[in-house]
Chains A and B, each alone.
Chain A
Amino acid sequence: MKRSDINWRIGGPQGSGIDRIVVLLARACALNGLEVYARREYHSNIMGRHSYVDLRISSDPVTSHAETVDLLVAFEAETLCRHAWSLSPSGCLIHGADDAELSLERITYLDQRVKEDVQARLDEQGLQASTAGVLEIIRHSGVQTFAIPYKRLIKMLAQDPDVSRREAELTRNTLAAAASCALLGYPQNHLLSALEQTFADRPHVLAINRRALGLAYEFVAGEFGQGACKMRLPAGKVGEPRLLLNGTQSVALGKLAAGMGFQSYYPISPASDESTFLEEHGRVPLKNGEEGGPLTVQTEDELAAIAMACGVALTGARSATATSGPGFSLMAEGLGWAGMNEVPVVVTLYQRGGPSTGMPTRTEQGELQFAIHAGHGEFPRMVLASGDLNECFHDAAQAFNYAERYQVPVIHLLDKALTSTVQTVPSFDLKSVRIERGERYRVEEDQDVRCPRFAITESGVSPRPFLGQPGGEHWLTGVEHTVEGRVNEDPLIREQMMDKRARKLEWAAHEIPAEEKLRIYGAPETPLTIVSWGSNKGAVLDALVRLKSDGINARLVQLRILWPFPATELSGLLVEAAPLVVIESNQSGQLAALMREQTGYTCDHLIVKYSGRPFSGEALHKVLRSVHDGTAQQRIVVSNPYE
Chain B
Amino acid sequence: MAIEQSFTEKDYKSEYSVDWCPGCGDFGIQRALESALAVLGLPPHRVAVFGGIGCSGKTPYNLAVYGVHTLHGRLLPFASGAKLANPELTVIAAGGDGDGLGIGAGHFVNSGRRNLDLTYILFNNGVYGLTKGQPSPTLGLGEQTKSMHQKNLHESVNPLILAAASGYTWIGRGYAYDKHHLEELIIQAIEHPGLSYLDVLQPCPRYNDLQTRDWYAGKDSEPPQNRLYSLQEEGYDPLISENAGEDQIKAGIARCMEKACQWGDRIPTGVFLRNLARPRYLDLIAEQIPAYSSTPPANYPIADAEGRSLADLSGILSKLTVG
Contacts and interface: CB of A to CB of B under 8 A. Distances in A.
B274 interface: no
A244 B302 CA distance: 26
Interface residues of B, number: 66
Interface stretch (B43-51, B140-148, B149-157, B232-240): B43-51
B251 interface: no
B300 to A, nearest CB: 5
B311 A304 contact: no
Best-buried of A294, A466, A467, A472 by chain B (most CB within 10 Å): A467
Contact of A286 (B43, B64, B88, B312): B312
B320 A249 contact: yes
A297 interface: yes
A188 interface: no
B105 to A, nearest CB: 10
Contact of A303 (B73, B300, B317): B73
B291 A290 contact: yes
B321 interface: yes
B307 interface: yes
Given A303-B73, A311-B79, A473-B45, A241 B297 contact: no
A486 B67 CA distance: 10
Contact of B291 (A291, A319, A430): A291
Given A30-B322, A285-B312, A433-B308, A311 B301 contact: no
Nearest to B292: A295
Interface in B307-321: 307-313, 315-317, 319-321
A16 B309 CA distance: 40
Contacts of A300: 106-107, 109-110
Contacts of B54: none
Given A243-B317, A430-B309, A261 B85 contact: yes
A433 to B, nearest CB: 5
Interface string A287-309: 11011111101011101110111
B16 interface: yes
B80 interface: yes
A242 B283 CA distance: 39
Given A30-B322, A259-B302, A292 B311 contact: yes
A467 B50 CA distance: 12
Given A259-B310, A284-B312, A468-B46, A307 B298 contact: no
B321 A241 contact: yes
A477 interface: yes
Contacts of A430: 309, 313
Given A253-B316, A299-B77, A468-B46, A424 B311 contact: no
Contacts of B315: 284-285
A273 interface: no
Contacts of B16: 486
A286 B300 contact: yes
B309 A262 contact: no
Nearest to A244: B322
A604 B67 CA distance: 53
Interface string A437-479: 1000000000000100000000000000011111111111111
Contact of A290 (B78, B106, B295): B295
Interface in B84-114: 84-86, 88-89, 106-107, 109-110
Contacts, number: 254
Nearest to B306: A434
Contacts of B60: 475, 477
B66 interface: yes
Contact of A245 (B68, B73, B308, B320): B320
A218 interface: no
Contacts of A259: 300, 302-303, 309-311
Contacts of A313: 81
B82 interface: yes
B81 A243 contact: no
B26 to A, nearest CB: 15
Contacts of A281: 316, 319
Interface in A395-427: 397, 424, 427
Contacts of B321: 241-244, 427
Nearest to B48: A467
Given A295-B289, A334-B74, A427-B321, A258 B309 contact: yes
B323 A242 contact: yes
Given A243-B317, A262-B81, A290-B295, A318 B302 contact: yes
Contacts of A304: 74, 76-77, 106-107, 110
B231 interface: no
Contacts of A334: 71, 74
B69 interface: yes
B301 A436 contact: no
15 contacts: A32-B323, A259-B311, A284-B312, A295-B285, A299-B110, A300-B109, A308-B81, A317-B296, A427-B317, A427-B321, A434-B308, A435-B307, A450-B64, A467-B68, A486-B61
Q: Which 10 A-B pairs have the closest CB atoms?
A: A311-B81, A259-B302, A261-B297, A317-B297, A300-B110, A477-B69, A307-B77, A435-B303, A291-B291, A304-B77
Interface of A: 26-27, 30-33, 197, 238-245, 249, 253, 256-259, 261-262, 264, 281, 283-288, 290-295, 297, 299-301, 303-305, 307-319, 333-334, 337, 397, 424, 427-428, 430-431, 433-437, 450, 466-479, 485-487
Given A286-B310, A291-B290, 4 more contacts: A240-B323, A311-B81, A312-B297, A468-B86
